[in-house]
Amino acid sequence: GNSVTQMEGPVTLSEEAFLTINCTYTATGYPSLFWYVQYPGEGLQLLLKATKADDKGSNKGFEATYRKETTSFHLEKGSVQVSDSAVYFCALSVGGGSQGNLIFGKGTKLSVKP
Amino acid sequence: NAGVTQTPKFRVLKTGQSMTLLCAQDMNHEYMYWYRQDPGMGLRLIHYSVGEGTTAKGEVPDGYNVSRLKKQNFLLGLESAAPSQTSVYFCASRTGTGTYEQYFGPGTRLTVT
């Protein structure tokens, strides 16, 4: 079946540190991959996405590259800020119709200290 | 555009009471979803709809019912609330084409005592 595994948190970093949150997936077919962010007390927002192998999604200084050979979509940011403190979810979607439903990882909580 | 909105934002129920959560979207999206979010569990799909008048079960449908009488609205009902349904509920929607990204509402925090 389809599944997403992401590193368990919480992750605590100092401001300006480098961030990596690992995400690997198992999927039948060719999934689209997503990172969503959830700020405290809010709903999920799409952070970035990639729809095919070797695509790089980027937004707000975050990047993730779709690696088919390692079935990974790791999230990175070169210099985190306090405002990046949130929960990050990796997700995939395979195909159309009900197959287009998102499958989420369990989320990784990031805390950035000044 | 308001995007996806949810009503109410907070609710406290006693065991056995019923309630309906309303989700509305103004993006003319075909697909709508209800999720619950519990600590350490990520998001789990309760029910979803692929269009007006249609509904389907997700991963954790027991104890919930849904209706999609209008394209822009998706209702989630709890007929007899249980403490295990204490959770944060999110609604989402997406188009029927493209890259399947979903747009989320702000959530409803439900406590069942």
| Local confidence band at A97 (pLDDT 50, 70, 90 cut-offs) | low
Q: Does A50 have pLDDT greater than 90?
A: yes
- Averaged over A33-60, what is the pLDDT? 94
Q: Does B101 have pLDDT greater than 60?
A: yes
- Averaged over B41-65, what is the pLDDT? 92
- Averaged over B66-85, what is the pLDDT? 96
CA distance A46 to chain B (A): 8
Q: Does B12 have pLDDT greater than 90?
A: yes
Report the pLDDT value the prediction gives residue A106, as an integer from 0 to 100: 92
Report the pLDDT value the prediction gives residue A17, as an integer from 0 to 100: 97
Interface test mutation site (partner B, options A38, A59, A66, A102, max chain B beta carbons within 10 A)? A102
Using the beta-carbon criterion (under 8 Å), do A42 and B56 form an inter-chain contact?
no
- Averaged over B23-51, what is the pLDDT? 92
Name the residue in chain A with its Cα closest to that of B93: A101
Query: What percentage of chain A carries pLDDT values higher than 70?
Result: 95
Q: Does A95 have pLDDT greater than 70?
A: no
Name the residue in chain A with its Cα closest to that of B41: A106
* Nearest by CB: A49 against B42, B45, B99: B99
Q: Which residues pair with residue B95 across a beta bridge? A: none
N-to-C CA span, chain B: 36
Interface test mutation site (partner B, options A25, A90, A101, A108, max chain B beta carbons within 10 A)? A101
